[in-house]
Amino acid sequence: MIIVRRFALGDAAPVIELITQIMSQEFGEAKAAYPTEDIQNIQTSYGALGEAFLVATDENRIVGTIGVKKEDDRVALMRRLFVAAAYRRRNIGRQLIENAVQFCGEVGYQEVVFKTTSKMVQAIELCKKCGFVQRAKLQLGPIELLKFSLPIRDHVKVGRNHR
């Protein structure tokens, strides 16, 4: 059974391994667009008020991640949406997004922004299915950066539990 919960200190190594493996195997050419300093110390990078890092687990194995960073009092950035290849197409990404958006609503954000490259097709399609709308596109050499946005007010379900 998949459980989405808050990051715990013992999750650091498997989270870094999962993200690094997916980035290297699937998005090597876009790696430069995504520095990894934030995952080297997740508690510091995602530990401020209004921020969170969530993991999806199967038993004790980390199979998915998502982070929420504060951009300003109104807007949160959704980052590090990754699901292990063997666990895709099981609605884990959707669960991660729903939990992140729920968290954002609970702490008072009005909008969630997701930035990615055009190479991350599965994440883009999932975000669109979850209601995100493309707001910008920027070409940086061979890398196309995309920005998606979701207003929170219509998407928050009150009373959902975040562990």
Report yes or no: 106 and 141 within 8 Å, Cβ to Cβ.
no
* pTM of this prediction exceeds 0.85: yes
Residue type, 4: V
pLDDT tens string 133-160: 999 999 888 788 899 999 987 554 443 4
pLDDT at 149: 96
CATH number at residue 107: 3.40.630.30
* Burial class (CB within 10 angstroms; exposed 0-12, middle 13-18, buried 19+) of 99: buried
**Is there a domain that residue 48 lies in?**
yes
Asked, for residue 11, whether it belongs to a domain, the answer is yes
C-alpha–C-alpha distance, residues 70 and 10, integer Å: 24
pLDDT tens figures, 75-125: 999 999 999 999 999 999 999 999 999 999 999 999 999 998 888 889 999
Query: Does the residue 94 lie in any domain?
Result: yes
Secondary structure of residue 40 in the 3-state scheme: helix
> What is the rounded distance in angstroms from the CA atom of residue 44 to the CA atom of residue 80?
15
- The residue segments making up the domain with residue 82 are 2-151
Rounded-to-integer distance, Cα 142 and Cα 155, Å: 34
Q: Could you give the number of structural domains in the chain?
A: 1
